Each structure stands twice: as structure tokens, then as C-alpha cells.
A and B are shown apart, each in its own frame.
Chain A
Amino acid sequence: MITHPAIRLIVNDLSAARGARRIFRGLSLDVGAGEALTLTGPNGVGKTTLLRTLAGFIPAAEGSVALSGGDAEKSVGEQAHYIGHLNGIKPSLSVLENLEFFAEFLGGAPDAALAVADRLGLGALEDVPAAYLSAGQKRRLGLARLICAARPLWLLDEPAVSLDAASQALLGGMVAEHLAGGGIVIAATHTPLGWVESRSLDLGQMADAAPAAA
């Protein structure tokens, strides 16, 4: 099992804006090693925006995001896996080629790709182009990069979309193992993921409690 150094994700007074529209403001978080945080709240409340801001895709309007105890040479994004609504797999490449690319590009071990495929129940499909997979299988292949390359911070946006019960349990197992190794998981979700001991943050309530003054 992979163990990560003791890290903390510290978010200080973060605000994010899309164009002129302020999505959330004054958000502070402190998530320690081995902790999972689930983000909940109605559509459009800013769950995806928060995850993309943490990953560094969207520059923070105010405030800061830092991973203390992490690699000072790398940005937070480079130490994170971001699984968005899109799976990030190439339809014309086979399952194994997709996994090998994740490992080679993100800094994992390409030799382990076959083991990863087996673990995700895609072992029998290793030579099948990703275009021929079902929606749930594609999602699993996208999630596979979480274990293709070890990174301490996992940012998951609706990770369980189109997964069946067995695959959700598989994802739960991956998350539990990651947390046991000292990783951090932040997941946005509408449906309960059934993960043990996860804190939860309702972005909708936060917005109500502190109405954004224009």
C-alpha cells in the first residue's frame, strides 16, 4: 500500500468567480491526512467550481489553496487527481493503452497497468478500444488513473455516476485504502457514497448562511 507524507489541505478565505458572477466567497477548509470530505448542495451551488479551483484550473479570485507537507516544488494540481464529469479516456486506444498512458504521463509504473485493469474488473477487456466500453466501464477506466499514479489529493466530481453497486463498492475500497495511506479525498456528490467516516460540507447552506453581498 502507498503511504503519503503527512499532508494537510488548507483553504483560506477562498472566493471564486465565473466571469462577473461570484460563485462562493470566504470559504475556509482544513482537511488533514486520511480525511474525506464530501461536498453536497443543490445544482449550481459551486461544487464543481470549488473542485476545479482546488485543482488550479480556475484561478482563485481571492484567498489561497495550499497543501502543507506536500512537495513544495509542485502546484496543488500536480499533486492531485481530478476526476471530472468527463472520463479523460481516448476512445481509439485500448483499455490497456489508456492505463499505460495514465501511468507514463502522470508518473506511475506502466508495468502495473495490467494489474490495475484486473483490479477494476477490466482485465478481460484489456485489448478492447475504450470506445466499445459501456458507460460504467468507461467511468471505471477513468477512475483507474487514481491508482495508476499515486497522488495524495483526490478531487472527485460525482465519481459514482453510472457505476453499478459492485463498482461503487470497488470505488469505496479504493478511497478507504487511499485514506488509510494518509491521502485526502474531496468528493462532490448528490447521492450518498457510503464511505466511512467522511465529513460533509453543504455548500448550499453555506451560501444561505453568508449571503453574497454584491
Chain B
Amino acid sequence: MMGPFLALIRRDLRIAHRQGGALATALGFYLVIVATLPLGLGPDLNLLSRIAPGVLWVALLLSSLLAADRMFNDDYEDGSLEVIALGPLPLELVAFGKAIAHWLSVGLPLVLLAPLLALLLNMDGRAYVPLMLTLLAGTPAVSFLAGIGAALTLGMRKGGLLVPLLILPLYVPILIFGVSAIDAVVTGPGSFTAPFSILCALTLASAVLTPLATAAALRLNLS
């Protein structure tokens, strides 16, 4: 069971690395959102510094959705999904592996770009560590949830625009607990641990539950 699972992740990472376009677009989009925002808000450093964690979180959610609709669509269009569906791996584990591969190839690079973008927003020095912790803990859930949207919109033309509509509402809890954990450290009151633990719980729950929904959607689209 482990061999095919790792083979699938390895293949997806290799393809993401070869094509590169999805990651470059996501990183570029992230940079552009964060860089244009101060132009609209004016050069108030205190304001930018205060809203920086929220902006970095929201922009990351939007950027990660750019590549989300391709998670299964390429495999669906070239027939690879039929090969994968007949493999020894249950479709639930396929969905889990594809989400992990999406996180490694898009989510993680976005997280690593975040502290650099935080400089552009004059983010409070105390916020860097909690920002990275919450992003690392929360972004896997972003990829898991995106899998549902990607599987539901398989084979749909213009499905790419539908995925954000379907999935963004599900990101609200992740965003709220992620940002409130950072705010607790920077401005207080409240503790970092409580919202951070809920964020971790959200990621774990989505890791277990979303593959079931994603696999059901894949089965429907294969029939």
C-alpha cells in the first residue's frame, strides 16, 4: 500500500516541478496581491503593520486556489485517473496523496514566501514566528479542502472559476483561527495555544474527512 502511495506523490511532485507554471503563477499572484494592497490603502505604516497577518493569510488562501482546480483535472483529461482508479490504492488514499502533493508543491512554497512579503507590510517582529506556525499548521487543510472542489468540478469547462466559490466559504474557520492566534501574540489579550490548537484540529479533521468526499466525487465523475 505504501509503495503505490509514495509513487503517486513522487509522480505528482515531478510533474509539478517539470511544468512549474502552476507554482510560478501562485507565487506571483501572492506577491502581486500583497504588493498592490499598500497602494490602495495609503502609506500608513501602523495600519499596514496591524493588518499584515490577516492580509498574508487571505492572499495565501486566494493564491493556493489558483492551482487547485488542476489537482485532478489533468489526470482526468489524459486518462491517468482511470489508471489510478484501478490501482491497488483506494480512491480515498489517492485523494489524500494528491492533496499532500498539492500542499508540497504549492502550499509549502507559498508559506515560505510569506515572511518575505511580511517585510513589505512592515509586520510586527513578534508576529513572524506565530505567522509561520499558523501557516504551516493551517495550509494542509487548505489543500485537503481544495481537493473536494477540484474533484467536484472535474471535466467542467470553466470549472476553475467554480472551485473558489465552492471552497472559499470552507476556508473561513481556518482563516479566523489562524489570524486570531497571531493577534493573540501581537496585541493580546487571549492565548496563542487555544486558537492554534483548534487550527491543528481543523487540519487533522480535514485530513480524515475530505478524502471521503473527494473520493465520492471522483467516483461520480469516472462513471
The interface-forming segment of B8-16, B30-38, B162-170, B177-185 is B8-16
Q: Is B28 an interface residue (CB 8 A)?
A: no
Give the residues in chain A near B85, CB-CB below 8 Å. 57, 77
Using A59-B223, A93-B11 as known contacts, say yes or no to A86 and B79 having CB atoms under 8 A apart.
Answer: yes
Are B87 and A93 in contact (CB-based, < 8 A)?
no
By beta carbon, the residue of chain B nearest A77 is B86
Are B88 and A89 in contact (CB-based, < 8 A)?
no
What sequence of 0s and 1s flags, for each residue 145-165 of chain A, a beta carbon within 8 Å of any chain B beta carbon?
Answer: 100000000000000000000
Query: CB < 8 Å: which of B82, B87, B89 contacts A57?
Result: B82
List B residues 39-98 near A (Cβ within 8 Å).
77-80, 82-89
List A residues 48-83 near B (Cβ within 8 Å).
52, 55-59, 74, 77-78, 80-82
Are A87 and B79 in contact (CB-based, < 8 A)?
yes
Using A92-B15, A93-B18 as known contacts, say yes or no to A101 and B7 having CB atoms under 8 A apart.
Answer: yes
Q: How far is the CA of A93 from the CA of B10 in the complex (A)?
A: 12
Give the residues in chain B near A105, CB-CB below 8 Å. 4, 7-8, 11, 83-84, 87, 89
Give the residues in chain B near A145, CB-CB below 8 Å. 83
Query: CB < 8 Å: which of A58, A59, A97, A106 contacts B83?
Result: A106
Q: Please report the number of residue pairs spanning A and B whose Cβ atoms sit closer than 8 angstroms.
A: 75
Q: How far is the CA of A82 from the CA of B84 in the complex (A)?
A: 11
Are A90 and B82 in contact (CB-based, < 8 A)?
no
Q: Is A102 an interface residue (CB 8 A)?
A: yes
Give the residues in chain A near B222, CB-CB below 8 Å. 57
Q: How far is the CA of A60 from the CA of B81 in the complex (A)?
A: 20
Q: Is A142 an interface residue (CB 8 A)?
A: yes
What sequence of 0s and 1s flags, for each residue 27-59 of chain A, a beta carbon within 8 Å of any chain B beta carbon?
Answer: 000000000000000000000000010011111
Are B82 and A82 in contact (CB-based, < 8 A)?
yes
Are B4 and A84 in contact (CB-based, < 8 A)?
no
What sequence of 0s and 1s flags, for each residue 11-29 of chain B, a beta carbon within 8 Å of any chain A beta carbon?
Answer: 1001100110000000000
Q: How far is the CA of A56 from the CA of B219 in the complex (A)?
A: 10
Are A90 and B80 in contact (CB-based, < 8 A)?
yes
Q: How far is the CA of A59 from the CA of B79 in the complex (A)?
A: 19
Are A107 and B88 in contact (CB-based, < 8 A)?
yes
Looking at the assembled complex, report how far the CB atom of A89 sits from the nearest CB atom of chain B, in whole angstroms. Answer: 7
Using A81-B86, A105-B8 as known contacts, say yes or no to A58 and B79 having CB atoms under 8 A apart.
Answer: no
Residue numbers of A with Cβ under 8 A of B are 52, 55-59, 74, 77-78, 80-82, 84-93, 97, 101-102, 104-107, 142, 145
> Which 6 A-B pairs give the minimum distances between C-beta atoms?
A86-B79, A88-B79, A104-B7, A92-B18, A88-B83, A58-B223
Residue numbers of B with Cβ under 8 A of A are 3-4, 7-8, 11, 14-15, 18-19, 77-80, 82-89, 222-223
